[in-house]
Chains A and B, each alone.
Chain A
Amino acid sequence: MSEKKLLRKRIEASKQLNDLMRDYFYRMDRVSKGEEEGKIAWCTSVGPAELLSAFGFQIHYPENHGAMLGSTRLAMEYIPVANAMGYSPEICSYLTSDVGSYLKGETPLSKAYPGIESVPRPDVLAYNTNQCRDVREWLEYYAKEFDVPVVGINPPHGMAEVLPGHIDDVVQQLKDLIPTLEKASGETFDIDRFRESMRLSRECSELWGDVLGLAQNVPSPWTFFDGCIHMGPAVCLRATQEPIDYYRALKEELEQRVADGVAAVEGEHLRIYWEGMPIWGKLRALSEQFSELNACVVVSTYCNSWIFSAFDETRPFESMAQAYTELFINRSEPHKQTHMERMVREYKVDGIVFHDAKTCPNNSNSRYGMPQRLEEELGIPTLVIDADLNDLRMYSEETTRTNIEAFIEQLEENK
């Protein structure tokens, strides 16, 4: 058999991305070491980052660290360490990888950024259980370890519609965080700084939405796998100016690809929706497999989770409560289905791959009949892959490869 030449197109903005992330990690490291003024907050990825930013905190995201542990596959060294101390292999493998790496006193940041010996030491921890209960357990563990305060929001779950009562509840919970944050930061709450954080975050979020939306073009200028890499600034730096500049550059580059008809996947023939978490340790392998099969993964609910359209600096508390409570992950099954149906149409999707992540039930949407309903109602084929975001013990390489290959064969038959 002849080997197929792979055309993996480098995104030029990647260099800017690498610089941005490097500066972010070194800045936090300097603050953590006391070489630079400031305080560190740890925050869940869809937590109240903009509020923390308004107090001048540098923000570390344990989930981002978890994704780094997954993509470097170091997670496989650390998960068993956390399991052995009582954290079940069934709970979030971001949590178990991160706690395991903490217990071993290691971090992938050290290899990527020489001089960084550990994740930055927190002054305060803030969570939002809009995603799951695990994030709270995770940060509460570190609160004890570092003897620092932990605050959080516990919004209502599974709503078909986000009602004013829900918003009032979350707004009050957000306001209740302020005294602890003032004490931890040594700064008084300033509504104008908060408004500015919200404005910057909204702008970042809109640009992130724009670049993701470019994948609606046929052929698509980039893939879900590219998005997983390039989403770093939208998560970690979203209440600052830097990601805004970065996404403008990325958008320009991708728009040029669209204008030139440049496809991310050479000979794009099929367009796929990836539902659920990435399989971080297999991101590259999966990207290559889809590419070889002329299939472009054009859309995901995962990458789209950092588009906070509701942010409005004129109503900072209310709009933050709205944006963080109306997230896909926090909604009812019918709402999720309607959202997916819209994405299938907008991105001209041929088939949907559901990742059923063993340790992430909240972000595995194949468990209540969604694939079957979408097949029936949209006539679109679906595939469910059993794996995990970080725990590769749950991943069967050959079974997954065969499933994807067979799925593509099925889609080709119907194309």
Chain B
Amino acid sequence: MEALKLAGLQREDVGSVVATGFGRRSVSFAGSIKTEISCHSTGCHYYYPEEITVIDIGGQDNKVVKLNASGRKTSFKMNRKCAAGTGAFLEEMAYKLDVPMSELEGLARKSATGTELGSFCTVFTATEVLDRIRGGEQLEDIIRGLFNSVAKRILEMDRLTGRVIISGGVVAHNPIVAEIISERAGVNVEIAPHPQEMGAFGAALYAAESQTIQHQEDNQLSVARR
């Protein structure tokens, strides 16, 4: 309802609704569902209609999806077993460091390389960070180290091939992550337009496509009737 209000629309104005994300099956008014993997991919393909690798760093999961020039997925990977290296990891670390999320990017940019954190587990990383603080390391180096950790989790998921596009909430607020991935992988990594809304945009493209198909079927039906 809020979205309709913001757009100045009524429910009847919306021809089709596609739900995505972890809660997709709970959207009672959706006509169909699509995974966020497909939606992020479709959204990115709209802007980059060529062979691309899509990296999505979300709140609870990371994805690396490969698309061919037609926009079809050729493979995808999601983070394994735990949510290390996702937005939730940064959120937890910001809380532990008592630094607002909005200040992480600025602080990290003051550091040249950042500290290297070895732990995979979020809780163990917090312990390691405490140890670094006690060891006298600078806050900005530690924060850049956290972003380095996110980049490492991405780079161990899959090889980056073709043009590399990154989306999701983490890079929307912390574009430095794209730069770190780019430096470490030795490839150019571009941030997609509206990275945080890319999944919703992809879902909208699916909804629009279903409308087009419906119109085509309606048209064919009327021709047949003639």
Q: Which residues of A contact B (CB under 8 A)?
A: 1, 375, 381-382, 384, 386, 394, 396, 398-399, 402-403, 405-407, 409-410, 413-414
Contact = CB atoms under 8 A, between A and B. Distances in A.
Contacts of A386: 80-81
Given A1-B30, A1-B31, A402-B35, A410 B81 contact: no
Interface in B23-57: 28, 30-38
B215 interface: no
Nearest to A413: B72
A409 B37 contact: yes
B61 interface: yes
Contacts of A381: 74-75
Contacts of B36: 402
Cβ-closest 7 pairs across A and B: A406-B37, A406-B35, A410-B73, A413-B72, A409-B38, A386-B80, A405-B35
Nearest to A408: B35
Given A1-B31, A402-B35, A413 B22 contact: no
B22 A402 contact: yes
Per DSSP, are chain A's interface residues mostly helix, strand or loop, or mixed?
A: helix
B76 interface: yes
Interface in B58-87: 61, 72-78, 80-81
B65 to A, nearest CB: 9
Nearest to B73: A410
B72 A402 contact: no
Interface of B: 22, 28, 30-38, 61, 72-78, 80-81
Nearest to B72: A413
A384 B81 CA distance: 11
Contacts of A399: 61, 78
B22 A406 contact: no
Contacts of B28: 1
B81 A394 contact: yes
A406 B38 contact: yes
A410 B76 contact: yes
Nearest to B35: A406
A402 B81 contact: no
Which of B32, B36, B72, B75 has most A Cβ within 10 Å?
B75
A375 B72 contact: no
B22 A398 contact: yes
Contacts of A1: 28, 30-33
